[in-house]
Amino acid sequence: MNKWLTPATKMGLSIAVATGLYGISFGALSIAAGLNLWQTLALSALMFTGGSQFAFIGVISGGGAASAAFSAASLLGIRNAVYGMQIKQSLRPRAAQVPGMAQITIDESTAVSLGQAEIGEKRRGFFTAGIGVYLLWNLFTLVGALLGEKMGDPAAWGLDGAAVAAFIGLLWPRLKSMQPILIALAAAIVTALAVPVVAPGLPILLTAICAAVYAVLSARQKPAATQHGDLDRVDGE
Amino acid sequence: MSELSWWVLASCLTAYAIKLCGYFVPRKVLDSPMMSHVASTLTVALLASLVTVNAFTSGQELKIDARIGALAAAIIALIFKAPYLVVVLAGALAAVLLRATGLAA
């Protein structure tokens, strides 16, 4: 077997294809919203965080002000700071790597990296997914922008189902004892409750805050909980 | 450059600055036992949240559609210890089939 095709790189490539193809719908919708080709390409190349990009063009196409589009996109991007902390802790990047790594710190690269148990795999997962999504997302943004709405909805090709499967596939290996299962269920409930009441993207952030607060409180009450079991092992110390 | 272009640029710069922020948290803080406990809890919560958002939401609406079939198909594949790519394909296939047969939107 090719030494580059480790489980982490395979995961990274799978998620890069599934997510990258979604760039078509972003490109097409952005042009439909009234942005020009360069503005559309700039969002994918420079902003590069899908949720924020869709929020930006969503506000514009809804007739909103550019300043409102800016706010929505920026709020949605805050979760990337949480991801950055996680990646810094687990991958221990050198200072020179940080500017590049920050740009590819998104849902997919973080999820693939966190899904691995060993540091080399975590690193390969992060870079394969991050760079893979970056290249394909930008390529397909261009394709979508040029083809316009003719391509139709990527949901018709089942890509939204692929995304769901991709994320549950990353979560699954962690659900080996009762505690992570309960945390996952609680997180799903918090997210679902938050979705109708806060702006898109914020439910994830809100869930992260709740989980962090819970973790801090539970660690204080029962320090033993961090000394055994599955939860700690995933950090691969 | 048009006003919209300036806002596009400002949004892009802000998005990058936010991404960088996470990396500026000192390593000492990140390395404490408390932080590793928080990080592992956060990992499970973030992944579960991403599953929920991708499977059950559309904008600000909660929605049950073909994606729940994709989730079920993926879980079945995972129970049978299928490789990751098979899990992803099972999700896509389930969504396509449910829509093609008119069983789900």
- Domain layout of chain B by residue ranges: 64-105
At residue A8, the pLDDT reads 94
At residue B12, the pLDDT reads 97
At residue A153, the pLDDT reads 66
Each residue's pLDDT tens digit, A42-100: 999 999 998 889 888 878 877 778 888 898 788 778 889 989 999 999 999 999 999 99
Spatial distance between the Cα atoms of A40 and A22, rounded to a whole number of angstroms: 14
Residue of B nearest to A87 (CA): B23
At residue A112, the pLDDT reads 94
Each residue's pLDDT tens digit, A176-222: 899 999 999 999 999 999 999 988 767 888 898 899 999 999 887 65
In this complex, do A166 and B91 lie within 8 Å of one another by their Cβ atoms?
Answer: yes
CB distance from B4 to chain A under 8 Å?
yes
A-B C-beta contacts closer than 8 Å:
317
ipTM score of the complex? 0.86
More confident residue, B98 or B50: B98
At residue A222, the pLDDT reads 57
Q: Is the pLDDT of residue A11 over 60?
A: yes
Tell me the nearest-neighbour CA distance from B64 into chain A, angstroms. Answer: 12
At residue A59, the pLDDT reads 80
Mean pLDDT of B41-52: 88
User: Predicted confidence band at B73 (pLDDT cuts at 50, 70, 90)?
Assistant: very high
Amino acid at site A54:
F
In this complex, do B39 and A161 lie within 8 Å of one another by their Cβ atoms?
Answer: no
User: For all residues of chain A together, what is the average pLDDT?
Assistant: 85
Identity of the residue in A165, A196, A212 whose CB atom sits nearest the CB atom of B88: A165
Measured between beta carbons, the chain B residues lying within 8 angstroms of A77 are 14-15, 18-19
In this complex, do A219 and B37 lie within 8 Å of one another by their Cβ atoms?
Answer: yes
Write out the H or E segment, with its range, that includes residue B18. Answer: helix B3-23
Longest pairwise C-alpha distance within chain A: 58
Q: Which of residues 30-69 of B touch A (CB under 8 A)?
A: 30-31, 33-57, 59-62, 66-67, 69
| Cα angle A99, A133, B40; round to 5 | 70
Identity of the residue in B22, B83, B87 whose CB atom sits nearest the CB atom of A88: B22
Taking alpha carbons only, the member of B50, B92, B90 closest to residue B74 is B90
- Per the document, the length of chain A is 237
Each residue's pLDDT tens digit, A107-163: 999 999 999 999 999 999 999 999 999 999 999 999 989 987 565 566 777 878 887
Spatial distance between the Cα atoms of B74 and B84, rounded to a whole number of angstroms: 9
pTM of the model: 0.73
